[in-house]
Amino acid sequence: MQDTSLFRTWAEIDTAAMRHNLSVVRRVMPNHKQMAIVKAEAYGPGLDGVAKALDGEDIDFFGVATVGEAARIHDLGCRTCPFILGPCFPAERELIVQHGWRAALSSMEEAAHFDSLGKLYGKQVNLHINVDTGMGRAGLLPSDIPMLADQLSAFENLHIEGVFSHLSAAADDISFTHRQIRSFEEAVAELSAKLELPYRHLCSSSAVFNYSAPSTNMVRLGRILYGYSPMPSPYNRELRNTLTLYARVTLLRTLPSHHGVSYNHTYITDAPTRVATIGIGFGDGYLHYLSNTGARVYLNGSYCPVLGRVTMDQIMVDVTHMDDVKPGDVAEIMGPNVPWEELTARAKTIPSNVITSLTARVPRVYI
Ligand X SMILES: *Cc1c(COP(=O)(O)O)cnc(C)c1O
CB-side neighbour CA atoms (13 Å) of 223: 22
Tell me if 366 sits within 8 A of 13, measured CB to CB.
Answer: yes
Distance CA 131, CA 168 (A): 13
Pick one of 21, 205, 241, 311: the residue that binds ligand X (CB under 6 A): 205
Q: Does 206 bind ligand X (CB under 6 A)?
A: yes
Distance CA 77, CA 18 (A): 20
Binding mask 233-252 for ligand X (x = CB under 6 A): --------------------
Closest CA to 62 of 40, 87, 43, 37: 37
Q: Which residues are annotated as catalytic? A: 39, 263
Distance CA 101, CA 51 (A): 15
C-beta closer to ligand X: residue 302 or 353: 353
State which of positions 153-172 bind ligand X (CB under 6 A).
166
C-beta closer to ligand X: residue 24 or 85: 85
Closest CA to 235 of 213, 205, 215, 212: 205
Q: Does 204 bind ligand X (CB under 6 A)?
A: yes
β-partners of residue 10 are 246
Stretch that binds ligand X, among 214-222, 313-321, 334-342, 359-367 (CB under 6 A): 214-222
Q: What is the DSSP letter of 30?
A: T
Tell me if 224 sits within 8 A of 39, measured CB to CB.
Answer: no
Closest CA to 326 of 296, 300, 295: 300
Tell me if 184 sits within 8 A of 203, measured CB to CB.
Answer: no
C-beta closer to ligand X: residue 45 or 222: 222
Q: Least CB distance from residue 224 to ligand X, whole Å?
A: 6
Stretch that binds ligand X, among 6-14, 202-210, 332-340, 342-350 (CB under 6 A): 202-210
Pick one of 223, 248, 346, 364: the residue that binds ligand X (CB under 6 A): 223
C-beta closer to ligand X: residue 169 or 252: 169
Tell me if 305 sits within 8 A of 294, measured CB to CB.
Answer: yes
State which of positions 26-45 bind ligand X (CB under 6 A).
37, 39
State which of positions 71-90 bind ligand X (CB under 6 A).
85
C-beta closer to ligand X: residue 80 or 291: 80
Paired sense of beta strands 125-130 and 102-105, if any: parallel
Distance CA 239, CA 259 (A): 43
Q: Least CB distance from residue 229 to ligand X, whole Å?
A: 9
Q: Least CB distance from residue 39 to ligand X, whole Å?
A: 6
Q: Least CB distance from residue 216 to ligand X, whole Å?
A: 13
Residues forming the site for ligand X (CB under 6 A): 37, 39, 85, 166, 204-206, 220-224
